[in-house]
A and B are shown apart, each in its own frame.
Chain A
Amino acid sequence: MEFQYRVNFSSAIQQDSALPLLFVARMMVIFLLWIRGMDNILPPFLPFLESLNLLRGQGWLFFLLDWLYWISLLMVFVGFRYYFFSLVLAALVFFSIISSKPQFSNSFLYSGCILFLVGMHRPGMDWIFRIQIALLYLGAGFNKLFDPDWISGQYFDFFFSEPYRNSLYLTLSSLIPERGLVLFFSYSSIVAELGLGAWALLKKRRILLVLLINFFHISMLFLTLGELSYIFYFLMAVSSYLLLPWEEMKGMVIPYSQESQYFSFVKFWDFDRFFNWKVFDRQIFVFDNKKNSLSLQLISILFSKYLYGFLILILVFICRYKHNLLALF
């Protein structure tokens, strides 16, 4: 079979998709720079592949990689050939991880996976994000399922007693016998992760799935007072955004009253005019039957990517700098 490969720098292919790929790619840039604090490509240090040690001392190479990294960040952020530069960023993330065991983290790896899939995506391939999210949750769930400390509740007993000390838990656990509370947390976490993973593979009730993913991670933030894990909340809130039914919702008519402050606010944030905003007029009030069953307010705010992204950033900012913010008061 003759194999041909041609690098296509056209962005026209990505414009055929309603998925907010550029939004996700930009949020990954924010993740790398702000949350991860990655401002350069480090030389190998205790790599997973020993042969990468040969690159140590090649300062010129990492000087070039740094330039490549920053150019790619900029290109993705401004949206120029962003799917190509997403692939470049993904490669640099994977290289950083493979070349240094201490650099390894699941969040860092996941950001690389999302950037890779954004770069590889073409119209009709929305399934790749469902599978990636499913792999993450199913992997996390199965790992816990076979861990004795999770099954016995030992993990959460220690979790809320020491590293994430929670006085409410300590009070409740003394009232509920036989480690009932920790077992509840253990099994509900496992069931939630396995359930979300399995659900991600389906194309059913995707709006509810995305809301539950957000709820799952925000509830963890709440229980740990913003500690665990705003990083994964950020990544999952952003990546799960791609699971929403974008194609079906594109151009949907949103009838609204100009006196409605809510809709005026949400319409302001719809910079791309994803929805078809119509001033309320009873004569033109036409609705698809399926959409009738969903809250207009929820849909309009959920599919407003700039507002959604802003809310994610605000929550992460509060969690990350909560001690500084509390000090102000």
Chain B
Amino acid sequence: MRRVIISAFFLIQLIGIIYSRFMEERYFCWAPFDQISLYEIKSTVNGVVFSPEEIKSRYNLQGNGRENRSIHHVFSIIKQYEESYGKEDKVVVKVIYSTNGKAKEEWNFSTE
């Protein structure tokens, strides 16, 4: 039974590595420091522009930060928050980011 549990434990990890090939996020696939994304989050909640401290408090993410795995982790966290804990709020979120020093891009999310 012990060997079965351990084998399943390793199989889960192997599945995670293979599955990540089809995903933009990099959770559970042993991909540390695969990308370096510098980002800035601009969030307006119910018409109020949030400060970096308020953004940190809301999403547990730095308002101006760095993501060392995948920028899609930032998107995923913001989206999940706004669709669950913050679903009563009207928000407009813009993430301005650059991955590996390439041209800046924008990701937008809105519930208005």
Q: Report which A residues bind B (CB closer than 8 A).
A: 3, 5, 45-46, 48, 50, 53, 100-102, 104-107, 109, 113, 116-117, 120, 122, 125, 128, 131-132, 135-136, 138-140, 142-144, 146-147, 149-150, 154-155, 157-159, 161-163, 228-229, 232
Contact = CB atoms under 8 A, between A and B. Distances in A.
Contact of A154 (B6, B28, B33, B102): B102
Given A102-B59, A106-B30, A143-B17, 18 more contacts: A50-B84, A100-B60, A101-B77, A104-B27, A104-B73, A105-B32, A106-B31, A106-B32, A120-B2, A135-B10, A138-B17, A139-B16, A142-B17, A143-B30, A144-B34, A149-B102, A154-B101, A157-B101
Nearest to A48: B27
Given A101-B77, A154-B100, A131 B10 contact: yes
A109 B28 contact: yes
Contacts of A149: 35, 99-100, 102
A32 B70 CA distance: 24
A9 to B, nearest CB: 16
B35 A147 contact: yes
A154 B37 CA distance: 13
B71 to A, nearest CB: 12
Contacts of A229: 32-33
Q: Number of contact residues on B: which range applies?
A: 35 or more
B110 to A, nearest CB: 19
Contacts of A155: 35-36, 100
B29 A139 contact: yes
B60 A45 contact: yes
A93 B73 CA distance: 20
By DSSP majority rule, is chain A's interface helix, strand, loop, or mixed? helix
Given A104-B27, A158-B36, A122 B2 contact: yes
B34 to A, nearest CB: 5
Contact of A140 (B2, B32, B100): B32
A50 B81 CA distance: 11
Nearest to B17: A139
A158 B100 contact: yes
B33 A143 contact: no
A130 B34 CA distance: 23
Given A117-B6, A128-B6, A154-B101, A140 B81 contact: no
Given A102-B61, A117-B6, A5 B1 contact: yes
B29 A143 contact: yes
A107 B84 CA distance: 28
Interface in B53-90: 59-61, 66, 69, 73, 76-77, 80-81, 84-85
